[in-house]
Amino acid sequence: MAAEPTFEELFRQTKRSAVHLEMRDGYMRSDQDFVSWSEDPRSVQRLRPPETRPWLSLMKEITSRGVEVRRARIFSEPMSDYLRYEHHLTPSNIAAGEIVRWLPRRRTSDLALPGNDFWLFDDSLVLFLHFTGDGELSPEGDEERSSAPEVVQLCRTAFEAVWERAVPHEEYRPF
């Protein structure tokens, strides 16, 4: 049996779209850039060239061949320090080709949402991401994959409902 494609390989295999729904108020708070930004927001560049960050380089690569990458973030207001950090860095994601929107949690009460953050590749494969309570990747397995039609449909529908209500990055100002 062949090994499952890695996270990076999933992007390289994507032909049309990859959408990501984030629903936590904090991730990977141990990340050194976040720690530096927390001490002095000016210490972390807002706009970074794609070649300086592997993620940005990958996004530039796949969006330049026509794959649409959309990211929607559901968050509590006022925004957590970690989400302020992500907002600070989002211009780099956009410059690399991602389209990013923000949706305050109070505007999601009537939406059916899956229990975990996810990526949906080409409307056919869902990759759920699992985190610990403090936002680190789960040591018990940080991902779960599904191509079950009902799971794909749930995630597609949830993402599109969020996307419809969410505010484009350029228009959202944290408070």
8 A C-beta contact, residue 80 and residue 26: yes
The domain that holds 34 is classified in CATH as: 3.30.870.10
Q: Does some domain include residue 74?
A: yes
Domain of 92 in residue numbering reads as 7-171
Residue whose C-alpha is closest to residue 167's, from 89, 100, 109? 100
- Report the C-alpha gap between 32 and 48 in whole angstroms: 16
Q: Does some domain include residue 125?
A: yes
Q: What is the pTM of this model?
A: 0.94
Share of the chain above pLDDT 90, in %: 75
All residues at 6 or more sequence positions from 22 whose CB lies less than 8 Å from its CB, including other chains:
71, 72, 73, 74, 117
The two three-digit tokens of residue 131, written as one number: 């985190």
H-state helical runs in the chain: 7-13, 32-39, 54-64, 81-95, 149-165
Q: Does some domain include residue 2?
A: no
- Start-to-end CA distance of the chain, whole Å, equals 50
Q: Does some domain include residue 24?
A: yes
Q: What is the pLDDT of residues 109-119, one digit of tens each?
A: 999 999 999 99
Q: What is the pLDDT of residues 132-165, one digit of tens each?
A: 988 888 888 789 999 999 999 999 999 999 999 9
Q: Does some domain include residue 27?
A: yes
Q: Does some domain include residue 149?
A: yes
How many domains does the chain fold into?
A: 1
Q: Does some domain include residue 1?
A: no
pLDDT at 123: 98
Please state the rounded mean pLDDT for residues 91-99.
Answer: 96
Place of tokens 């050194």: 32
Asked if pLDDT for residue 131 goes beyond 80, the answer is yes
